[in-house]
Amino acid sequence: MNPGKLDKRGTIYTETATNAQGLISYTDTTYKADVWAAIVPLSGQELWTARQVQSKVTHKITMRYYAGVEPKMKFVYNSRTFHFVSVTNRDEANQWLDIEAVEEID
């Protein structure tokens, strides 16, 4: 991967559950701020292939490896939010993460 293609700067968030008097509330907690990533909308064959496994996948996000990044996190870039569906450590080399994500539509 050419690092120059990591042209979107955003923040990774994770949901944290808190319990107040028996009620569970979810809040977003910053997991990793100032992350550079490439965001590519899936189309054609890539989209068809991704939807065989997860029907809602709309984008592929590539970023440098960060330990602990997992599904159920999200990436926020400007006013756009991408919820992670799957996270793959490319070649198990701890260099790049390939993430299948769903863009949140208001």
pLDDT digits (tens, 9 = 90+) for 86-95: 999 999 999 9
Higher pLDDT, 83 or 26: 83
Q: Residue 68 in contact with residue 32, Cβ under 8 Å? A: no
Sign of CA dihedral 45, 75, 38, 94: negative
Q: What is the mean pLDDT of residues 37-49?
A: 72
- List the domains of the chain with CATH numbers: 3-103 (2.40.10.370)
pTM confidence score: 0.79
Q: What are the backbone dihedrals phi and psi of residue 67, each rounded to the nearest 5 degrees, phi first?
A: -60, 140
